[in-house]
Chain A
Amino acid sequence: MTDSKYFTTTKKGEIFELKAELNSDKKEKKKEAVKKVIASMTVGKDVSALFPDVVNCMQTDNLELKKLVYLYLMNYAKSQPDMAIMAVNTFVKDCEDPNPLIRALAVRTMGCIRVDKITEYLCEPLRKCLKDEDPYVRKTAAVCVAKLHDINAQLVEDQGFLDTLKDLISDSNPMVVANAVAALSEIAESHPSSNLLDLNPQSINKLLTALNECTEWGQIFILDCLANYTPKDDREAQSICERVTPRLSHANSAVVLSAVKVLMKFMEMLSKDLDYYGTLLKKLAPPLVTLLSAEPELQYVALRNINLIVQKRPEVLKHEMKVFFVKYNDPIYVKLEKLDIMIRLASQANIAQVLAELKEYATEVDVDFVRKAVRAIGRCAIKVEQSAERCVSTLLDLIQTKVNYVVQEAIVVIKDIFRKYPNKYESVIATLCENLDSLDEPEARAAMIWIVGEYAERIDNADELLESFLEGFHDESTQVQLQLLTAIVKLFLKKPTETQELVQQVLSLATQDSDNPDLRDRGYIYWRLLSTDPVAAKEVVLAEKPLISEETDLIEPTLLDELICYIGTLASVYHKPPSAFVEGGRGVVHKSLPPRTASSESTESPETAPAGAPPGEQLDTVPTQGDLLGDLLNLDLGPPVSGPPLATSAVQMGAVDLLGGGLDSLMGDEPEGIGAPSFVAPPAAAVPANLGAPMGSGLSDLFDLTSGVGTLSGSYVAPKAVWLPAMKAKGLEISGTFTRQAGSISMDLQLTNKALQVMTDFAIQFNRNSFGLAPAAPLQVHAPLSPTQTVEISLPLSTAGSVMKTEPLNSLQVAVKNNIDVFYFSTLYPLHILFVEDGKMDRQVFLATWKDIPNENEAQFQIRDCPLNAEAVSSRLQSSSIFTVARRNVEGQDMLYQSLKLTNGIWVLAELRIQPGNPSFTLSLKCRAPEVSQHVYQAYETILKN
């Protein structure tokens, strides 16, 4: 009972003494000595010198002593591999012991000894133990395979242990099944490509049966394994869900969270109209709430996960606001997480309650918590417009408390409120100014300076206030310096007469006395702007600011989906993908939610296969030289260029260029081949491939070259197609295309007179169309068009015409008149001519908008056979005004987040997933007007493939 004495021996010559004791004849003395050795080992002393003496004690009937020696062996065998061999015989003998506990102990310990020679000897006993009659031995042997795999993966494969392990999944004992599943899952993780965990409806059924019978830990292993499975259709998903839901009542929180993970993932496959979907949603909330009555550490894990769940499916917990109210004796980490979730759940319905709570929290003791509570009040104001006024007055109350950090935090959030609701709450500025002196944190100082600059015209002594900050300019942090510079320039532009001196002072401070390049650059820009064109300066500096988004800390949608697949694990606690904190190739297999399929068809897209994602090696893709070259060339050359054979293809295309015009006229003579008026974009199959392709590239080359010189914003131009064949229009043939350059749309027409008489008096008119396209100028054909003559005209278009939805959306009906008759034809315009140049969305706004648009509006497309890499795609799309807002690399896949805006103000958000080596891209589009998605997709196809 008094084992503690072993911790106290610190005499000199201890090792020597221990050695003597270990070799003693008396059993009791031996045991005492081994205990002392283990105690020394625990506290970190090196007792490896005793190795032979300790191993000598291994041959014993005393189980306790044996276990102690094994413990010692596991620790030191690696440092003394040769001597560890001495132990092999005992192990092999123990594996034959009649007592199953001893057999299991031997195989368990042997697996922990990472010495090559020992693992060789391990194979035979392990094989026997895997087929042992006793389940206790089998379940231990199952784990041992995972251990051996960690030491020598090849050996495990060669010896066929993996197959034996797979067989154990059908074992009669649930605990053996659970351990086999755990071991296989771990091994499968390091071999993402292998089909080790061959999950199919039969094996899933076995797992679900074992789920009801095994220990709480076994249930976790099985549920975590189930979460990696992708059911083949919604019916299978539902039947698995039905068998997993009982786990939500388990007392073990980890079982509950793993069950939630399976349900959250499989729910993705269920149609929202299904009754079962609603039932499932309702079943999720109570167990999540119950997790909050667990121990604080588990509460923390639960809260981090709930944070993800409410972002993914806000409807689950929308009525449960009260349970997230902070309790007085919650640990700080629980309090902070609860606060986060409260803000996410805040809505008009519960905002009064939330604000009352937040105000309470702002008077607590913990500084971090109070700060976060104050910030939360600001976020409520931004999120729920109706509450803004109340929030502002609450913040003012808090400023009155004069508690330093509360005041500073309040000022920072009030700045955001001003950004969100301009010209609404300026009355509070006076109160803010009173607290100017107490601000000592850079963020608060910067916020205050921003407010003074922004509302300089309403603050009488704005110049004095800013001047007071200027005194200690060099001691300020960069944030404050930059803000001060901008604020003074704003002030100058608003009140130029009184503040000339001040602005000069700040400009010289920023440009001459500072060694911060950012500050200097900004200073110079302002200086030059002010000195060359004050009007332009005003436009730039006092421009209208984009509104700030409601929620600033939302997780990106794809990352969120990935994290949902990791519910309950560390990744969900850190809110980071495992690759961010796990070393090496282990556990970095990219996971994603199954696609939403209501039909019973099987999904075959590669990213949904459980283990089909690319392995971790491709994490950092460094652009190869070829790609870089491709990028450079793409600026001048429209057509797809990829990989090494660049130089030659460029030359070839140059040659084609020369022929372009000739071919074009050739084609004009053959209206049959391309006669369909709907032909706008080359992918339309109507074009004879051999003729269409070179012509297309040749022409677009020409256009790109011309536009490339002056401006970068030349979007892709399709080759001209015949819209009105001569035979239908009494000899007038019209072919044309649409272009967009530097923000203006035009219709490039080619009129050919194939009749025998001269044509004059041309005029053009459009029917009403979806985007209000109309000619911005009359059709001017300067000279009469004599027979066989061709004239090229560029007709500028505007989008100010009257609007009427057409079917298809992008069709345009045109009437052309000449001295002979009026002719009608219709054509389709590519949507990308409507993409405006300021279609780049702010990153935050993008996130918020993406989330805001309901999922029903999301459309997914496949772009096949596009050999470009992410950089090339991005730059090419950008030249057609599709802007890449953000880019992320997820386990080798490039995710491009893109935005574009149509002339009528409709925003389209896109997520483009590019897998290196796979020419098929996945395009997800989200838009409030989902009918444009199809056409935007076509625009993507057109731009990327030409």
Chain B
Amino acid sequence: MIGGLFIYNHKGEVLISRVYRDDIGRNAVDAFRVNVIHARQQVRSPVTNIARTSFFHVKRSNIWLAAVTKQNVNAAMVFEFLYKMCDVMAAYFGKISEENIKNNFVLIYELLDEILDFGYPQNSETGALKTFITQQGIKSQHQTKEEQSQITSQVTGQIGWRWEGIKYRRNELFLDVLESVNLLMSPQGQVLSAHVSGRVVMKSYLSGMPECKFGMNDKIVIEKQGKGTADETSKSGKQSIAIDDCTFHQCVRLSKFDSERSISFIPPDREFELMRYRTTKDIILPFRVIPLVREVGHTKLEVKVVIKSNFKPSLLAQKIEVRIPTPLNTSGVQVICMKGKAKYKASENAIVWKIKRMAGMKESQISAEIELLPTNDKKKWARPPISMNFEVPFAPSGLKVRYLKVFEPKLNYSDHDVIKWVRYIGRSGIYETRC
């Protein structure tokens, strides 16, 4: 298991050092500094073995977090723990910086004592931790016996991420479906690869211990349900989507998902990431880029790029940016565009075309004349792909939230009393068209 945990600043000075195991000595602190932080070459691996001691490290801005061990530990667990550690610290005092760490070092030691015992990670849910590890540290005197046992049962309970007694005057929840759509397209308009990676983020302001059930247009679920009425299957079949793979927050009952494919859970309070998913089939590509590059002699290039928006006319895409790469020996560029603003940026070797807003089923074009300096470089210009950025108010994967039902048997509010908000945001990931 984890033998020790160190936090360094960018110079390699130790800010926090907590040793859990006897086989880790003080010299381990220096070994990491000398061999990794002060190493002359770039670090080649997040896992380093120095004299039979293994160091795992992650970096957050200028801060190094290193876990040390001499055993054959579960490496994936160590990294997951380090990330979690960062999350917990961020939840307590914001950005992980040298100043914040120094200011909160007593708190950090207290956290480290709690979430790692003899190198074994323990409950590290911020919600639970905050009930008994506070920056004031004096809470213990004022706790009643009930409060204390409530804390411990919550920390060790099946639902470590939530506790009894949460109350809101208004029961409200927000669902954000955030997707990033990735595309590589050939100049002829053939899709070489496309996938969507999405997340469902939930913000809940719900009283008590609400039992939630989340439903979306997952093909497997819809087909299962539609078995009885063939008519419905054909209708809804179009709207359902095939999910390649998905992972869930630990509050979701995985065995239930595995057997019934239903997503049920008791949510943590406030914001958390309910699920992540990936789809590759039937993706709605919000934009199509049609490039036309013509070489006129050796000293001139004519470029024409058409972009077409491919979604409902009532929707508006935002923050559209098209980046057209230019050769290294470009001497001058003349651009004409009908919409938005376009500029040649010599330092980036590209023409950057920005459009603030664009409705669906529209098209726009840009044409440019690029003057080239004559060179004796035999190597042809490699023609890097044209890339795009945008934001659209729908989910390119086609994912739809069908319902999110809330049941709280003990308190007197029903599913209808909960105010629910759903928002879809599709962003471009790596969205490229070769030219």
Tell whether A and B belong to one assembly: yes
Contacting A at CB under 8 A, from B215-256, are 244-250, 253-255
1/0 contact string of A213-256 vs chain B (CB within 8 Å): 11111001100100000000000000000010111011111101
Given contacts A43-B13, A217-B81, 20 further A-B contacts (CB under 8 A): A4-B99, A38-B105, A108-B117, A143-B117, A143-B120, A217-B122, A246-B257, A246-B258, A250-B250, A297-B82, A298-B79, A298-B80, A302-B76, A363-B382, A569-B75, A573-B75, A574-B49, A581-B49, A581-B52, A582-B72
Alpha-carbon separation in the docked complex, A175 to B102 (Å): 32
> Which residues 73-107 of B sit at the A interface, judged by CB distance below 8 A?
73-77, 79-83, 99, 102-106
How many whole Å from B65's CB to the nearest CB in chain A? Answer: 11
- 24 A-B pairs with C-beta separation under 8 A: A3-B104, A61-B141, A62-B138, A63-B140, A100-B149, A101-B152, A102-B140, A134-B149, A134-B152, A136-B155, A175-B122, A175-B157, A212-B255, A216-B250, A217-B121, A246-B257, A250-B248, A252-B250, A286-B244, A290-B247, A297-B58, A322-B193, A568-B74, A586-B71
Pick from A43, A257, A297: contact of B46, CB below 8 A.
A297
Closest A residue to B21 by beta carbon equals A150
**Digit string of B49-76 for contact with A (CB within 8 Å is 1, else 0)?**
1001010111000000000011111111
> A570 and B138: CB pair below 8 A?
no
Q: Out of A1, A67, A136, A578, name the residue touching B110 (CB < 8 Å).
A: A67
Residues of A within 8 A of B275 (CB): 251
* Chain A positions 58 through 75: 1 when the CB is less than 8 Å from some CB of chain B, otherwise 0: 000111110110110001
**Chain B CB within 8 A of A10 CB:** no
Check B410 for interface membership: any CB of A closer than 8 A. no
Cα A586 to Cα B1 with chains together (Å):
12
B117, A140: Cβ atoms under 8 Å?
Answer: yes
With an 8 A cutoff between CB atoms, is A708 at the interface?
A: no
A96 smallest CB distance to B (angstroms): 15
Closest CB-CB distance, A226 to chain B, in whole Å? 13
* Interface flags, B131-161, vs A, CB<8A=1, else 0: 0100011111101010011011101111010
Q: Give Cα distance in the complex from A99 to B149, angstroms.
A: 8
B333 interface residue, CB < 8 Å from A?
Answer: no
Residue of B nearest to A105 (CB): B113
Given A301-B75, A332-B44, residue A38 in contact with residue B156 (CB < 8 A)? no
Number of B residues contacting the other chain (C-beta, 8 Å)? 96
Instruction: Determine whether the beta carbon of B121 is less than 8 Å from that of A300.
Output: no
A119 within 8 A of B: no
Which secondary structure dominates chain B's binding surface? mixed
Q: Does B22 contact A (CB under 8 A)?
A: yes
CA–CA, A62 and B110, complex, Å: 13
Q: Tell yes or no: B412 within 8 A of A by CB.
A: no
Q: Which residues of A contact B20 (CB under 8 A)?
A: 112
> Once the chains are docked, how many angstroms separate the CA of A224 from the CA of B74?
9
Answer yes or no: B14 CB below 8 A from chain A CBs.
yes
Bound complex: CA A162 to CA B1 (Å)? 20
B82 surroundings in chain A (CB, below 8 A) = 297
- Is A174 close to B, CB under 8 A? yes
Given contacts A101-B151, A212-B253, A586-B71, contact A217 B77 (CB under 8 A): yes
Are B278 and A220 within 8 A (Cβ)? Answer: no
* A-B CB pair tally, cutoff 8 Å: 266
CA distance A570 to B55 in the complex (A): 10
Tell me if B77 and A247 are in contact (CB < 8 A): no
Residue numbers in B under 8 Å from A75 (CB-CB):
19
Chain A 525-556, CB within 8 Å of chain B: the 1/0 string? 00000000000000000000000000000000
Is B342 at the interface (CB under 8 A from chain A)?
A: no
CA distance A137 to B149 in the complex (A): 11
B15 at the A interface (CB under 8 A): yes
Does chain A have a CB within 8 A of B284? no
Indicate if A135 sits at the interface (CB-CB under 8 A).
Answer: yes
Indicate if B214 sits at the interface (CB-CB under 8 A). Answer: no
Interface string of B110-125 (1 = CB under 8 A from A): 1001000110111111
Q: How far is the CB of A181 from chain B (nearest CB, A)?
A: 10
**Is residue A645 within 8 Å, beta carbon to beta carbon, of the partner chain?**
no
Give the CA-CA distance A256 to B246 in the complex, in Å. Answer: 12
**Does B74 lie within 8 Å of A258, measured CB to CB?**
yes
A108 to B118, CA, bound (A): 9
Q: A290-B278, A295-B83 are in contact. Are A249 and B254 (CB under 8 A)?
A: yes
A566 at the interface (CB under 8 A from B): yes
CB A91 to nearest CB in B, in angstroms, measures: 15
Contacting pair A71 B109 (CB below 8 A) = yes
The size bracket of the interface on A is 35 or more
In the assembled complex, B273 has its CB within 8 A of some CB on chain A: yes
Residue ID in chain A nearest B382 by CB atoms: A363
- Are A38 and B46 in contact (CB-based, < 8 A)? no
Of A175, A286, A582, which contacts B123 at CB under 8 A? A175
Docked Cα-Cα span, A53 to B385, in Å, equals: 69
The closest CB in chain A to the CB of B76 belongs to A254
Report Cα–Cα, A214/B22, bound state, in Å. 28
- Check if A442 is an interface residue, CB within 8 A of chain B: no
Give the contacting residue for A249; candidates B148, B158, B248; CB below 8 A. B248
**Please, which residues of chain A bring their CB within 8 A of the CB of B402?**
none
Taking the closest CB of chain B, its distance from the CB of A650, in whole angstroms, is 46
Q: Does A624 touch B at the CB level, under 8 Å?
A: no
B140 near A251 with CB under 8 A, answer: no
Report the separation of the CA atoms of residues A573 and B72 in the bound assembly, to the nearest whole angstrom.
10
CA distance A217 to B74 in the complex (A): 11
Cβ-defined contact, B257 with A582, below 8 A: no
Could you tell me if A582 and B140 are in contact, using CB atoms closer than 8 angstroms?
no
CA distance A512 to B159 in the complex (A): 80
A174 to B122, CA, bound (A): 12
Specify which chain A residues have a CB less than 8 angstroms from the CB of B247 in the assembled complex. Answer: 249-251, 256, 287, 290
6 interchain residue pairs of minimum CB distance: A64-B137, A286-B245, A4-B102, A136-B152, A246-B258, A254-B76
What's the Cα separation between A301 and B58 when bound, in Å?
A: 13
Given contacts A175-B123, A186-B1, A287-B245, contact A570 B76 (CB under 8 A): no
Q: Is the CB of B70 within 8 A of A582?
A: yes
Q: Which A residues touch B1, using CB under 8 A?
A: 182, 186
Please, which residues of chain B bring their CB within 8 A of the CB of A43?
Answer: 13-14
Known: A254-B77, A571-B72, A582-B71. A42 touches B16 (CB 8 A): yes
Q: Are A293 and B278 in contact (CB under 8 A)?
A: yes
Q: How far is the CB of B426 from chain A (nearest CB, A)?
A: 17
Given contacts A254-B80, A578-B72, A2 and B47 within 8 Å (CB-CB):
no
Chain A proximity of B263: nearest CB distance (Å)? 10
Point out the residue from A35, A136, A327, A572 that lies within 8 Å of B75, measured CB to CB. Answer: A572
Instruction: Give Cα A812 to B338, complex, Å.
Output: 91
Most chain B CB within 10 A, of A3, A62, A221, is at A3
Contacts of B246 in A (CB 8 A): 249, 290
Q: A100-B149, A246-B255, A300-B46 are in contact. Are A213 and B140 (CB under 8 A)?
A: no
Q: At the interface, yes or no: A44 with Cβ under 8 Å from chain B? A: yes
Contact B76 A253 (CB under 8 A): yes
Across the interface, name the chain B residue whose C-beta is closest to A70: B113
The residue in chain B whose Cβ has the minimal distance to the Cβ of A175 is B156
Taking CB atoms, residues of chain B closer than 8 Å to A572 are 75
CA distance A135 to B153 in the complex (A): 7
Q: What 0/1 pattern do residues 412 to 435 of B give for CB contact below 8 A with A?
A: 000000000000000000100000
The answer to the question of A262 belonging to the interface, with a C-beta cut-off of 8 Å to chain B, is no
B40 contacts chain A at the CB level, 8 A cutoff = no
Nearest opposing residue in chain B for A134, CB measure = B152
With beta carbons under 8 angstroms apart, the residue of B106, B117, B124, B156 that contacts A135 is: B156
Q: Which of B17, B52, B257 contacts A583 (CB 8 A)?
A: B52
| B118, A111: Cβ atoms closer than 8 Å | yes
When distances are taken between beta carbons in the complex, the residues of chain B under 8 Å from A38 are 105-106, 109
**Is A590's beta carbon under 8 Å from chain B?**
no
The reply to whether A71 and B113 contact each other, CB–CB distance below 8 Å, is yes
Do B46 and A296 have beta carbons less than 8 Å apart? Answer: yes
Are B17 and A42 in contact (CB-based, < 8 A)?
A: yes
Shortest beta-carbon distance, B67 to chain A, in Å? 11
Instruction: Tell me if B347 counts as interface (CB < 8 A to partner A).
Output: no
Interface string of A311-332 (1 = CB under 8 A from B): 0000000000010000100001
B116: min CB distance to chain A, Å? 10
